[in-house]
Structure 1
Amino acid sequence: MPIRVLVVDDSSFFRRRVSEIIDQDPDLTVVDTALNGKDALDKTIKLKPDVITMDVEMPIMDGISSVREIMKKYPTPILMFSSLTHDGAQATLDALDAGALDFLPKKFEDIARNKEEAVSLLQTRIKQISKRRISMRMAALKSAGASRFATRSQRAAKVEATEQAITATSNKDKLEQIQSRRKNSNRGSASYKLMAIGTSTGGPVALQTILTKLPKNFPVPILLIQHMPAAFTSAFAARLDSMCQISVKEASNGDMLRAGCAYLAPGGKQMIVEGVGTGAKILIKEDNSDRLTYKPSVDITFASVGKAFRGHVLGVILTGMGADGRDGAKFLKQQGATIWAQDEDSCVVYGMPQAVANAGISSESIALNQMADRIIGEFNLQ
């Protein structure tokens, strides 16, 4: 059965354009269109689409408000369309915070080399995020069911709370055991000189989830490679910096690496590390070639990190489409570095983490809501 898509935009031209692209793929079908956020909410509840494409700026109810309401009433994978401007970046990040899973520029040519590539990109993104619809709705049903169950039976609620406490205690014991083993190992947290994180689709929310939990005294520099348009990375770095205890900045050419600071690779360019130890610095290079699909590329940054820091690196691959990061992580591992991957259940798209896991590169697959605690434990910060 084709994936059913609701197209939302106040522009009749854009609704028609997007609908035509979607209907070209036999695995996709446009179930209806909506003129604004309120219309989208009503039709989502009525038609129960598998995926929604959503504009940001619309009358009556804007896209961000619509996303928030849809996530409350009928959680559905949503792909946002936005302009490649600073305001567009801010609005898109707000939409992702509200629950949207991914985004694309309204001008496809801004990220695609030709019409065929643009068409394929939109169709692929819709298919990828549609895989999350079942887990999103099951989570919503579970939450609603738990709420009704608690209302009906306080006794049952107490039993559930007890079970959760036991589970939490068990998980804490397991974490303490892991930390104990690491403290007694030959490696030790002092061996790490840098942490590098690569991600794509679903990455903004994943990075926010992790970085906001890290303490101000985090002992090493952090490199962040997020597939994102050039107009977005500055706004995203500023957003993270305002929310985190650590410092976060968009990386600049010549930045010296310092502990407790995260450096986000600029969109449309490549971020490379040169030098070692306290003399290590960041080089930002223009990339006008068609040889590499991703700019920034996780592979490029990870490879340079491997040359600069050898095995003294914790590399993490988070949610994302494709396999960027697999080759770079492989090189890092060959130098003696530790590689972790996000687990399948917590990924928006299990592409990049799956690539390193299937290749036997990652030593552990970790749920997103546990990743920050595992990182903190790995660096003996608890």
Structure 2
Amino acid sequence: MEKIKVLIVDDSAFMRKLITEFLSEDPRITVAGTARNGEDGIKKIKELKPDVVTLDVEMPVLNGISALKRIMEENPVPVIMLSSTTLEGADNTLHAMQIGAIDFIAKPSGSISLDLYKVKKELLDKVVSASSVKVKTILNLSNEVQSTIVPQRNYSKIEPKDKEKQSQKSLSTEKWNSNKQKLILIGTSTGGPRALQHVITKLPRDINAAILIVQHMPPNFTKSLASRLDSLSEITVKEAVHGEIIQKGVAYIAPGGFHLKAKSIGRNIAVQLDQTEPINGHRPSVDVMFQSASTINNYEKIAVIMTGMGSDGKNGLVELASRGEIKAIAESKETSIVFGMPKAAIATNYINNIENVESIAETIMKYV
């Protein structure tokens, strides 16, 4: 099997050496070369033609954001950003993912992270996952995001979907009570910020439901994501706060490092945040959110699983379906950056719709 060729772009010689050592330990990966800044990186991409690039955000001469723009224009390739966990670092990283970066790694302790070993497995997993992403998909989706900045308000006409985009489950809504209260639950991971922008910016201000979101991200990054989506959307988007009563027309994003659970308080639903053990390596976990929502009575749930590695959300979806009336939507393989989570959800046979990302908001509104 041909090895995955990786180019490491970082201004720190120590970080270049450390990342090289980590990647070289994996028999699936070979380090094709290193570069000390964005300019050097662009040159090396043309020479070495790597399968994946790791790109530091903060560098002299040409920083990661400026370099990424040129990479996507001149020699597009799957890119994983390495970022500090500061608020500025989080904002820059989200911007990079809009430009076309596949994913990011948050350095545990700033620019030169002596404890980078803490995210070694995450780095290896993301490099391997990024190597399978088609460049055409990256370019198409990063371009499509630009069209979501102005929210689309017309939901009066729902066009029928192509048969091949439907799952094996019937789309019958005979048991679906349009007068019953609805709760929207969204789970996503790799490629999620782009997917969420496609969906959240198309939901109308007067949507008759609250939205709970789990996006796999560390602290600070979820706050920046909520702020960005809020500025682009008709609905309110915020980072969830422990104990708050959820409101219709508001999307609540689980803070990085905390599980988000829904809890009944009288006729209301309150947010519960906790730092219990990660589930399959994730905190927040989509499974935890779905499982908690399965205990909420008198609500019908709309579950959405979008792009991401692994199978988070699969077990929770099964529990949701076994304990109440749900409609479930999965992002299609065609638009997923990584088709792991949607594929696992589809395999449960509880998915009602398989949709390209640009159609997911419309399908949510059909059920709300």
TM class, shorter-length: 0.7 to 0.9
Give how far 1:59 is off.
1.2
Is 2:354 the partner of 1:355?
Answer: no
Query: For the Cα contact (< 8 Å) 2:329–2:360, is it kept in 1?
Result: no
Looking at structure 2, the residues matched to 49 and 32 of structure 1 have their Cα atoms a distance apart, in angstroms, of 9
In the TM superposition, what is the alpha-carbon distance from 1:307 to its structure 2 partner? 0.6
Q: Map residues 42-191 of structure 1 onto 2, 5 A cutoff.
A: 42-107=43-108, 118-133=119-134, 135-136=136-137, 173-175=159-161, 185-191=174-180
Could you tell me how far apart the structure 2 residues matched to 1:115 and 1:237 are?
27
> In the TM superposition, what is the alpha-carbon distance from 1:32 to its structure 2 partner?
1.4
Change (3 A) 1:22 1:220: same
Tell me the residue number matched to 2:26. 25
1:321 aligns with 2:321: no
Whether contact under 8 Å (1:198, 1:316) holds in the other structure is: yes
Q: Answer whether contact 1:229 1:267 (CA < 8 A) is retained.
A: yes
Classify the secondary structure of the residue corresponding to 1:346: coil
Structure 1 runs not aligned, ≥5 long: 141-170
CA drift of 1:60 comes to 1.6
Q: Does 1:227 align with 2:196?
A: no
Partners in 2 of 1:298 and 1:139 — Cα distance? 27
Deviations 1:226-285 (A, max 9, x none): 111012111211111111110001000111111100000111111111116842111112
> Residue 322 of structure 1: CA displacement?
1.3
Sort the Cα spacing of 1:340 and 1:9 in 2 relative to 1 into closer, same or farther, 3 A. Answer: same
RMSD: 2.8
Partner of 2:332: 343
2: CA distance, partners of 1:176 / 1:376: 18
Aligned to 1:377: 366
Taking only the aligned residue pairs, the percentage that are identical comes to: 36
The answer as to whether partners of 2:279 and 2:285 remain within 8 angstroms in 1 is no
Deviation, 1:53, is 0.2
Equivalent residue, structure 2, for 1:260: 249
Shift of 1:192: 4.8
1:162 matched to which residue of 2?
none
Higher relative contact order (CA 8 A, sep 6+): 2
**Distance in 1 between the 2:237 and 2:266 partners?**
20
- Counterpart of 1:299 in structure 2 is 287
TM-score by length of 1: 0.82
- Determine if contact 1:36/1:60 at 8 Å carries over to the other structure: yes
Does structure 2 retain, via aligned residues, the 8 Å contact 1:74–1:137? no
Letter of the 1:49 partner, please give it.
P
Residue identity in the other structure for 2:128:
K
Map Cα deviations across residues 89-120 of structure 1 (whole Å, 9 max, x no partner). 111111111110101122389xxxx9877433
Give the distance between the partners of 1:290 and 1:191, measured in 2 at CA: 33
TM-score (norm 2): 0.85
User: In 1, are the aligned partners of 2:261 and 2:272 still within 8 Å (CA)?
Assistant: yes
For the residues of structure 2 that align with 1:207 and 1:137, how far apart are their CA atoms?
15
Structure with more helix by fraction: 1
Counterpart of 2:282, as a letter, is Y
Q: Provide, for residues 186-218 of structure 1, a one-character-per-residue CA deviation record: whole Å limited to 9, x for no partner.
A: 525434511000111111111111101111111
Unaligned runs of 5+ in 2: 142-156
Structure 1 273/45 Cα, relative in aligned 2: closer, same or farther at 3 Å? Answer: same
2 CA distance for matches of 1:134 and 1:34? 22
Which of 175, 178, 196 is the aligned partner of 1:207?
A: 196
- What CA deviation, in whole Å up to 9, does each residue of 1:4-44 have, x standing for no partner? 11110111111111111112212111111111112222222
Q: What is the distance in 2 between the residues matched to 1:3 and 1:196?
A: 36
Match of residue 147 from structure 1? none
In 2, Cα distance between equivalents of 1:68 and 1:280:
43
Deviates more, 1:63-72 or 1:307-316: 307-316
Name which one, 1 or 2, has greater alpha-carbon Rg. Answer: 1
Shift of residue 376 of structure 1?
Answer: 2.7
Aligned residue pairs: how many? 343
Question: SS where residue 275 of structure 1 aligns?
Answer: strand
Distance 1:136 1:271, change over 3 A: closer
Q: Please tell me the residue identity of whatever aligns with 1:367.
A: N
SS in 2 for 1:345: coil
Q: Larger deviation: 181-190 or 92-101?
A: 181-190
Question: Could you list the per-position Cα deviations for residues 127-179 of structure 1 after superposition, in whole angstroms to 9, with x for gaps in the alignment?
Answer: 10111135448969xxxxxxxxxxxxxxxxxxxxxxxxxxxxxx97425999x
Q: 1:269·1:296 contact (CA, 8 Å) conserved in 2?
A: yes
Change over 3 Å in CA distance of 1:369–1:36 after alignment to 2:
same
